Chain A
Amino acid sequence: MTIAIIEPKPTPFVAGVTAIAGAFAGLLVGTAQGSSLIGLVAGAVIAAAMAYVFLDYFRQERTARWATVIVFTIAAFLLGGPAGAIVGVLFGLFFGWFIFWLGEGRHRAKLPPYTTGLQVFYHYGFRVICGLVFFFLITPIIVVMPLSFNAENFFTFTPEMLALDPEGYSLKHYRDFFTNDDWQQALWNSVSIAPLATLLAVSFGTLAAIGLSSEHVPFRRPIMAILISPMIVPLIISAAGMYFFYSRLGLQGTYWGVVLAHAALGIPFVIITVTATLVGFDRSLTRAAANLGANPVTTFRRVQMPLILPGVISGGLFAFITSFDEVVVVLFVGSAGQKTLPWQMFTGLREQISPTILAVATILVTISILLLTTVELLRRRSERLRGMTPG
């Protein structure tokens, strides 16, 4: 229970802080327009003035915010065209909110009342840093998406795209992906290798995980170390070893060679997720089933499996994505006939042939969002089944 004290802050303080933010924004705009200094000063002055006007004469938050956004957008459109207008909207939204957030004292709402001004500053400074890290994490993935609709064969934004001109956008890279034989063959290879590798990894892995989780397993640690090792050993070493060994067996360059290799790589993920689910599994349930006359197979099928199924499925998804996303091993163990999607992307990136890669990347990001959602839902379901509150 925190006691929230929300009291309006004095206008000069708000104006000062807003001026600093305004100076920074002004610096950016000014540099883009050719004069940093004027931008800096003008930004600070405009922001401070806005703070005074909104807090002392026109304290109607909703109207003021809309007015700010509209004025900023128009001004920015005049300065920088459509792309500038987007920046204008963002700046307008920010300042319209920022002035009232500070002015009404809402920034202290969630902090203990005894925090000093410096501590408040640290608190938000820290959050800004975290925000920048999140920005770093997510931007590269977001940037790829609009670029994949590029009408030109460039890996960057064209002036037409920045001007939001429909001419600058097209679906041609997607068309290329769906019509080009190389890409279609690669897609088909990926789709035919990954499920089989997943099936192998999941069926062997689940059995072994059940065995490993029973109480009396001799040599559990060394066995676990061996089973997890495909995840730890660098891929290039696995790839080299498999290349040498599979060529001796005549598996190198065959479909089955790649499937076996990918199954081996996916196994640790299945083991880890399924053993994690089994930790919360109540063994008295199997005993109860046996007591009621069920044989081990029925017990497994009707009692144990439904309970550990979420873990098995998410382990399977991990194994699937491992195989679907794997390049290094398939590069060595496979031959041209097993060229998978990542392999095709890899060659494309090395030789820089076409931005079709970006279209593929966007499709893959969409798939990974779907997978992520599935795994997250499964995790919650699993925790609910085990009587924990899902986090």
Chain B
Amino acid sequence: MSKLKSSGQQTADAPTPEDAFHEAAALEDHPSAPRGSKADGPVLSADGTPLKRSLNRALRMQKLRALMLIAPLLIFVLVTFIAPIADMLFRSVENQIVSNTLPRTTQALAGWEAEGADSAPPEAAYEALYVDLFLAAEAKEHTRLGTRLNYEETGLSSLFRSSGRDMDDIGEDRIDALEDANEAWEEEGFWYTLMTGGEGAAGNTALLDEQRDRLEALTGDSYAADIGFVPGQAISELLPRTARAYAAFALYTVVEDEDIVAEEEPWERVKIALTQDLRDPATVQALADYDGPGAEELRAAADLSGGFEEIDFKQTFLEIDEDWGNVDNWQTIKMYSPPFTSGYFLNAVDMEKTPDGPALRDEDERIYGLLFNRTLFMSLVITGCCIMLGYPVAWLLANLPMRTANILMILVLLPFWTSLLVRTSAWKVMLQQQGVINDTLVWLGLVDDASRLIMINNQFGTIVAMTHILLPFMILPMYSVMQTIPPSYVRAARSLGATNWTSFWRVYFPQSVPGIGAGSILVFILSIGYYITPEIVGGTTGTFISNRIAYHISSSLNWGLAAALGSILLAVVLILYWAYDKIVGIDNVKLG
């Protein structure tokens, strides 16, 4: 068997199926190997299958079992942690709100190119805007869109909010004229029968589903419920706009207001759509043959509608707010109509979208570059401070006798185990103008009572507090590396005539560099994303990019920008993480 053993993989540990596998492979390569009486054929295991195959299966089983053990946690982490991160990355480019809220407008704008300040969008865009904005205002989604677009062009928020209020008043005289002519146009029941096309009429579910999708996209709610209304096939071919408007009204009434369609008077928009439909000569012609419910009233209304003046939607919108004539506003809507945008990322690096492509913002509007620079700079300073303070301590701990080192280690581990907020509040207590350090300095007479040092709510405070908080993360990796450096090397260097400095710098220091590297990356990664400490002791000049992210999530509600800023920060951290993995290996992280 000794020959077999040498051809198999040598392992110091107990034999594993894999060892046996190698041995079996070796056996098959040398069929003439001394192996009992049966010289030829594969080696069989106890149950008669070839040994190679049965070992293969054992190995596969082992892999599978390991994966089964890992699977629950992996799924857990993927769902609770990785999916949220992915969601955030998605949010940083997602921009469906414009096309969801103003679908027809964005379609109408598709062919429009702004050339100069007076190239206003086509009349069709204004009409589409009326259709979209009326529905959005009913669903109260127009302010959300206004807020979103306001990030890009100031003033759009108030423009949308004020215009949304006036949507009901557009074409008032027409509706009045219609209702004066026949009171049936004010009756809920009449409208309902008209639009269903009477009992037993063929329904147009396609049109209903189309409106259902439209409302779902607009509000984000589910409209799957049965609403007790299906537009009639004949009537929706005859009066397409009215049918669409009425279907949207019916869906909204049932799902959001939880009312019954047949008992509610339709929106103004439905009546306007009717008069628009009836102005079409083709419709009037087709109407002559129509015999569904309400045909008489429709014919009368058609006669009346012929006399209406065309609604000038552009003029109407300009009367509501003259900013609707501003080409810049329209350009912003057009620019942000695609479902994905680089706008948030451009914002996050102090740029903005212009018709001529991305451009840097004005000097005084650039804040994120400054914040990123400050975050990087302060993290570097903190890392530097940690190296300077941590190196001597780690050296001392690694070179003292075990017993003493363990006692001193407690002084490092206690801050490490103490709550972050305790340490931050301790620094607040220490650094305040009426705090312990200032009091001590005043008591010693080193500082005048009137001119106490300002050490908090600025960069100094953040750097001191974070150096203290992150110092254990520097000392621990350095210590574990320095422990492995044999002291005899330095002694050898000394006995060969090196001075104190040379023996340290040329012999000891190079061996301790991995510890410095590991500690530095760890401290840098941790400090670059810090939020709590800068928030409490940082004031305005000592805050990090994370504070801005938190501000955008909880105060300004510009989630897309927060996500974009977060994605950039995440990219930086992941690069460092990768470097850390290369240098130290994530399996080698030690705690305590």
Contacts and interface: CB of A to CB of B under 8 A. Distances in A.
B48 interface: no
Contact of A364 (B62, B85, B418, B589): B418
Contacts of B573: 232-234, 237
A230 interface: yes
Nearest to B576: A232
Nearest to B220: A248
B284 interface: no
Contact of A141 (B81, B91, B422, B536): B422
Given A122-B500, A275-B587, A227 B559 contact: no
B69 interface: yes
Interface of B: prevailing SS:
helix
Given A126-B392, A137-B412, A155-B429, A119 B74 contact: no
Interface in A204-236: 204-205, 207-208, 210-212, 214-218, 223-230, 232-236
Interface of A: prevailing SS:
helix
Interface string A317-343: 010010011011000100000000010
Contact of B424 (A328, A349, A371): A349
B66 A240 contact: no
A364 B86 CA distance: 35
Contact of B66 (A157, A212, A357, A371): A212
B566 interface: yes
Contacts of B1: none
Contacts of A144: 422, 425-426, 429
A141 B418 CA distance: 8
Interface string A117-159: 0010010001101100110111111011001000000111100
A215 B16 contact: yes
Contacts of B335: none
Interface string B400-416: 00100010101111110
Contact of A244 (B72, B76, B91): B91
Contact of B445 (A34, A226, A230): A34
Nearest to A345: B421
A157 B439 contact: yes
A173 B77 CA distance: 40
A246 B267 CA distance: 36
Given A28-B444, A204-B73, A228-B589, A143 B81 contact: no
B128 interface: no
A100 B445 CA distance: 31
Contacts of B147: none
Nearest to B548: A236
A241 B417 contact: no
B62 A216 contact: yes
Contacts of B82: 226, 229
Contacts of A215: 16, 18, 62
Given A234-B570, A243-B553, A208 B72 contact: yes
Given A226-B78, A368-B419, A32 B444 contact: yes
A145 to B, nearest CB: 10
Contact of A261 (B59, B80, B428, B591): B80
A262 B417 CA distance: 17
A18 interface: no
B590 to A, nearest CB: 7
Contacts of B393: 130, 133-134
B87 interface: yes
A164 interface: no
Contacts of A375: 417, 592
A264 B549 contact: no
Given A130-B392, A283-B14, A346-B532, A216 B554 contact: no
Interface in B81-132: 81-88, 91
A109 interface: no
Nearest to B563: A240
What 4 pairs between A and B have smallest CB-CB spacing?
A234-B529, A211-B69, A241-B84, A140-B426
Interface of B: 13-14, 16, 18, 59, 62-63, 65-70, 72-74, 76-78, 80-88, 91, 389-390, 392-393, 396, 402, 406, 408, 410-415, 417-430, 432, 434-436, 439, 443-446, 468, 471-472, 500, 525, 528-532, 535-536, 546, 549-550, 553-554, 559, 562-563, 566, 569-570, 573, 577, 580-581, 586-587, 589-592
23 contacts: A134-B393, A134-B411, A137-B411, A141-B415, A156-B435, A208-B70, A211-B69, A214-B62, A216-B59, A217-B67, A228-B589, A230-B77, A230-B81, A233-B85, A237-B88, A237-B529, A244-B84, A264-B81, A267-B73, A267-B76, A328-B531, A349-B536, A372-B417
Given A34-B445, A119-B500, A207-B69, 15 more contacts: A126-B396, A141-B422, A144-B429, A155-B429, A207-B73, A214-B69, A223-B74, A233-B85, A238-B84, A244-B563, A264-B77, A284-B13, A361-B419, A361-B425, A368-B418
